[in-house]
A and B are shown apart, each in its own frame.
Chain A
Amino acid sequence: MVELGRAFKTLAFGEAAYAAILVAEEVLDVMQRDWMRDERVVPFVRTINNIHVVEESRHMRFARDETLKRLENASWLRLQIQAFVVAVASYVIVTSMVTEKVYARAGLDVERAVREAKANEHHKAMLRSSCSGLMEFLASARLLTKPSLRFYKRANLI
């Protein structure tokens, strides 16, 4: 994972960097909004989540602005490349949010647990509905190209 991050840092440039960060922030933002409001979560974690939600709101606005600005006059080819990079980044981010170790630690058969989790329609629905704002933005930035849509479909974002 860390190595993938390093690779991305080297490869991504301009709008792709902003847009990919945006994907990570949006996904975290949605989860943290629920956690900070939920009384079942440890108070300390709720405070941290709250801080992050407030701080990230400005960062996300900035990333959206930058992405749009940089893509404004982008050529077809550049748009295709950037859309593809963002889609791959999104796929990696969203699919690596849960480590398989949690299943093992909970005493579950990891293989089966992963299979069940992957097929869980409720989980897919939560991902899709929570990330609707993000997908709306990517659509408005013309980043939902045909090849990139395949990744978003696989990641259950659309």
Chain B
Amino acid sequence: MTHVITQTCCGDATCVAVCPVNCIHPTPQEPGFAAAEMLYIDPASCIDCGACVDACPVDAIYPLDTLPGPQKEYARINADHFADAGTPAARDGSPIFHPWEEPAFERNLPSDFAPIRVAVVGTGPAGMYAAEDLLLHTNAEVTLIDRLPVAGGLVRYGVAPDHPATKRIGETFARFHTHPRVRMLLGLHVGQDVTVDELAAHHDAVVYAVGASRDRRLGIPGEDLPGSTSATAFVAWYNAHPETAADAVDLSTERVVVVGNGNVALDVARILVADDGHLAGTDIADHALRALRGSDVREVVLLGRRGPEDAAYTRSELLALTHLPGVELVVDDGDPRTGAAIDAAGPRDKAGLLRDVARTKVDWTSPPPEGRRIVFRFHSAPVEVLGGDAVRGVRVTSGSGEVEIPTGMLLRAIGYRGSPIPGLPFEEATGTVPHVDGRVVGRPGTYVVGWIKRGPTGGIGANRACAAQTVGTLLADAVQGDLPAPTGSAKAFRRLVRHRNRHVVDARGLAAIERAELARGRRSGRPAANWPRSPNSWPPPGPAAASAPDTRTGGPQHP
């Protein structure tokens, strides 16, 4: 018997640290770690202790005999990872039973390390991994700041509602919201309410974890027609992001074309054709659930510029798509290169994942067939969005000339882009802040972490190593005495914030919002009903709001 890591693996390697027999690989010290889509358990050495199950922040690990139906194939996937390399054995004559690396002690704080005051801007995964690292490894006081009145960043507003296990990592982060050395200031916009310089003047160091909130554009004619939008906006819409209108999406079209085939593209495709009964059991936005119930969408076409061997999705997300009840998966066989690549692929090649998926030559001149389906179309890029006052089709490349696909909605899912922060340097080409190991170039005491640092690649868990690097740099600078001394006290900063923005939400306010959400969800038989919140629209309508205490005053949180 063994345990098995499944689809939701976030790769943050919390499990590796608790395994008593070192059977989870690749470990962060191993060369394949950075490129690994997920981690695997070696069935030959696992002793079924279950320590990893308790440690996993996203509930991805199961004992082999309790694997839920669609996850059963992960038994083979885990075992396959070790098939080539074989199970590593301890050296002959070694006093220990399993091969282990020497312990590494990367942080070496001087014994008289003085407490520092650090602001972390952004409460998504990158910001929270950085805050966690600081709180666990130093005696730092941390100010957690977010532009929005609720914490969580993309864990709250980016993860698809039908991935509740992934969202659970938010609970791990939430432990630090109420940490005795943390002060939370939500709904405070750095760059508007307070400037970068003001923030720096009141803290020893500032870490920016603001992510990449813009989307990349196609740069083709017709891109801005009504009905053509970004997948980012669509994701924000179904997750009740406060800056997206409830009526922002019109689903009165039979076919939706998504440009791109990364995991975000797969997310939006899945939500668009998902069974609304299933979605009702998630924390999807009320307005999105209503719209999807009345949706006409039967077919979602995913355009991939290159072939199935270069598809951007991860293996686990594609596998999940093949198990969607009531949804057919189809590969458009119009281009012979697609089929050839799938047939030629080895069992573990990316293209091989589509081996058992039906292949048909799709006739784009007729409306989509009955039933719901997702179509993968490879070697095809959009050339022009067609339509007078709204999208009515998209002209795309194909192996032989160009093809017109009629559609009422075009979603571009070709990646995110960082936005410049007023007062910080910015590299337009990459959409990131220039840095050396996390330290912002030319601004001592200022650091970046997450997508604004390394560009919009890598999932939730990748931020752990990224944050470790940034915090490592920050602490080294602190030890060297390279951090500029703050000119204003913590108290002065609180005064400044109160003066600039009366609607800042603190940890208690956040807890009240979450309680109200849960109560609201319970009434409608759902886990939690998110509502779009903004400083102006909160509290939301409904009885929950009436009973929630006024949390917008931003009063003192800690005795």
Q: Which residues of A contact B (CB under 8 A)?
A: 33-34, 36-39, 43-44, 46-47, 50, 53-54, 56-58, 60-61, 64, 116, 119-125, 128-129, 132-133, 135-137, 139-140, 149, 153, 158
Contact = CB atoms under 8 A, between A and B. Distances in A.
Interface residues of B, number: 38
Nearest to B49: A57
Given A43-B95, A137-B54, A54 B20 contact: yes
Given A128-B136, A129-B136, A122 B96 contact: no
Nearest to A116: B111
A133 B139 contact: no
B180 interface: yes
A34 B111 CA distance: 21
Interface string B1-33: 000000000000010011011000000000000
A54 to B, nearest CB: 5
A57 to B, nearest CB: 4
A37 B95 CA distance: 10
Contacts of A116: 111
Nearest to B93: A43
B102 A122 contact: no
Given A39-B102, A61-B51, A158-B179, A125 B107 contact: yes
B18 A121 contact: no
A46 B96 contact: yes
A109 to B, nearest CB: 17
A37 B96 contact: yes
Given A53-B20, A122-B113, A132-B136, A47 B95 contact: yes
Nearest to B48: A58
A136 to B, nearest CB: 6
Contacts of A158: 179-180
Most buried by B among A44, A119, A124: A124
A135 B172 CA distance: 11
Contacts of B358: none
Nearest to B138: A125
Contacts of A149: 180
7 contacts: A37-B96, A47-B95, A57-B20, A57-B47, A57-B51, A61-B49, A125-B136
Contacts, number: 91
B365 interface: no
Contact of A37 (B14, B100, B137, B139): B100
A39 B97 CA distance: 14
A123 to B, nearest CB: 8
Contacts of A58: 49-50
Contacts of A50: 95-98
B167 to A, nearest CB: 16
A129 B107 CA distance: 10
| 5 closest A-B pairs by CB | A43-B95, A57-B49, A57-B20, A121-B113, A120-B111
A116 B112 CA distance: 9
A122 B54 contact: no
Given A50-B97, A125-B139, 10 more contacts: A33-B103, A50-B98, A57-B20, A116-B111, A121-B113, A121-B139, A122-B110, A132-B136, A133-B18, A139-B175
Interface string B96-138: 1110111100011111110000000000000000001001111
Nearest to B172: A136
A128 B134 CA distance: 11
B299 to A, nearest CB: 43
Contacts of B95: 43-44, 46-47, 50
B103 A122 contact: no
A123 B107 CA distance: 11
A43 B97 CA distance: 12
Interface in B476-519: none
A139 B172 CA distance: 9
A106 to B, nearest CB: 17
Contact of B103 (A38, A56, A57): A38
Nearest to A117: B111
Given A38-B102, A50-B95, A125 B55 contact: no
